[in-house]
Amino acid sequence: MTEQQFGPVTQWLSGMPKAELHLHIDGSLRAPRLLQLGKKHGVSLPYGSVEEVEAAYNFSDLQSFLDLYYLGASVLRDAEDFYLLMKDYLQVCRVQNIVHCEIMVEPQTYLPQGVELGVVLEGFDRAIAEAKSGWGQSVGLILSFLRHLPEADCLEMLKAADPYRAHFCAIGLASAERDFPPAGFQTLYREAADRGYALTAHAGEEGPPGFIRDALQLLSVTRIDHGVRATEDEDLLHQLAADRVPLTVCPLSNVRLCVYDTLSEHRIFDLLGRGLCVTVNSDDPAYFGGDLLENFAALEAGLGMTKEQALLLVRNSFEAAFLQSDEKLSLDARLQDYLARNP
């Protein structure tokens, strides 16, 4: 969907200041850049053209996506690559008025290629500094761990990140969910809490609602990435609403990874209507067919999203952000200003 084809609510949202809280930076690596960097480093890829890359992005579940996602990320080798990757995504933020973003960085992904965290952050820092000074972009980085790897490896990475502690606002837990429950990462989360990180984790995407409960109870997370399978557990829904635990929901991702057959089955507006702090996010936009606005556009086209619902989702994105209260107040003020001019 191009911007000209957006419905009226999404057009109204396009100029509105917004936050995106669930974005894997490797998932923003688009086909042209993937091919360019693959060529640069002589990485052999099973694609010869942008069309062939996009044709391969036809997933049956989370694992079938992750296989191509890690293959794609294997082209990232030097600080310049990481600079370009971050710059590309921050340009999307600029165009779509995503004034604050929280970005998942997964350093364990780059270790097999011998790329250390310092190299990754050198590239990211340069792009973030340019976006901050260029147009006042606000950025938080989330140190995200790969749950298909042993907890001991994650702990090693947590320690390797100690010299870069100030770069990250939080830790997260991603990758294959079903066979790697939250219970296996309690030491990691305790150690991260001791270091002062905020805590989030993917839970209830493919995994059962019990994984959401365990992420809250065993890992002490204050936010849940995805969490859509909470709809299967009435008591959990009450708890999430009462505690205003944010869910970073990713509608296009859920359809492309077959969590739902079609968007019309998505329960995002039931969750919102029941008082949960639901937010909208793009997850891996290069793989799932759209950035943040395209996710909103899909909700408008497929589920009839109203202006009131859209505004609630944007307000929730500020409430759910890992920011200080004065920073949230300043985002609210920018939103009020936009609403005064664009009622």
Q: How far apart (Å, rounded) are the C-alpha atoms in residues 106 and 101?
A: 16
Which residue is closest to ligand ADE by CB? Answer: 174
Nearer to ligand ADE, 160 or 258 (CB): 258
Pick the binder of ligand ADE from 109, 253, 279, 282 (CB under 6 A): 253
Residue 20 contacts ligand ADE per CB under 6 A:
no
Q: How far apart (Å, rounded) are the C-alpha atoms in residues 192 and 159?
A: 9
In the list ligand ADE, Zn ion, none, the entry touching 175 (Cβ below 5 to 8 angstroms by class) is: ligand ADE
Place of tokens 């310049």: 80
Quote the least distance from Cβ 334 to ligand ADE, whole Å.
29
Pick the binder of ligand ADE from 18, 24, 30, 267 (CB under 6 A): 24
Which residue is closest to Zn ion by CB? Answer: 283
Is there a catalytic annotation at residue 205? yes
Quote the least distance from Cβ 283 to ligand ADE, whole Å.
5
Residue 102 contacts Zn ion per CB under 5 A:
no
Question: In this structure, what is the dihedral angle of CA atoms 308, 209, 180, 21, given to the nearest 10 degrees?
Answer: 10
What does the per-residue mask of binding to ligand ADE show for 188-207, with x meaning CB under 6 A?
--------------x--x--
Nearer to Zn ion, 206 or 283 (CB): 283
Place of tokens 């609630």: 312
Burial string for 168-205 (b: 16+ CB within 10 Å, else e) reads bbbbbbbbbbeebbbebbeebbeebeeeebbbbbbbbb
Residue 248 contacts ligand ADE per CB under 6 A:
no
Q: How far apart (Å, rounded) are the C-alpha atoms in residues 236 and 128?
A: 38
In the list ligand ADE, Zn ion, none, the entry touching 27 (Cβ below 5 to 8 angstroms by class) is: ligand ADE
Nearer to Zn ion, 81 or 177 (CB): 177
Q: Which two tokens stand for residue 95?
A: 């165009």
Residues 263-282 that bind ligand ADE (CB under 6 A): none
Pick the binder of ligand ADE from 17, 27, 172, 209 (CB under 6 A): 27
Pick the binder of ligand ADE from 81, 214, 283, 294 (CB under 6 A): 283
Residue 283 contacts Zn ion per CB under 5 A:
yes
What does the per-residue mask of binding to ligand ADE show for 205-244, with x meaning CB under 6 A?
x---------------------------------------
Pick the binder of ligand ADE from 20, 81, 214, 284 (CB under 6 A): 284
Q: Catalytic pick from 102, 106, 177, 205?
A: 205
Nearer to Zn ion, 214 or 283 (CB): 283
- Residues forming the active site: 205
Binding site for ligand ADE (CB under 6 A): 24, 27, 62, 69, 174-175, 202, 205, 253, 283-284
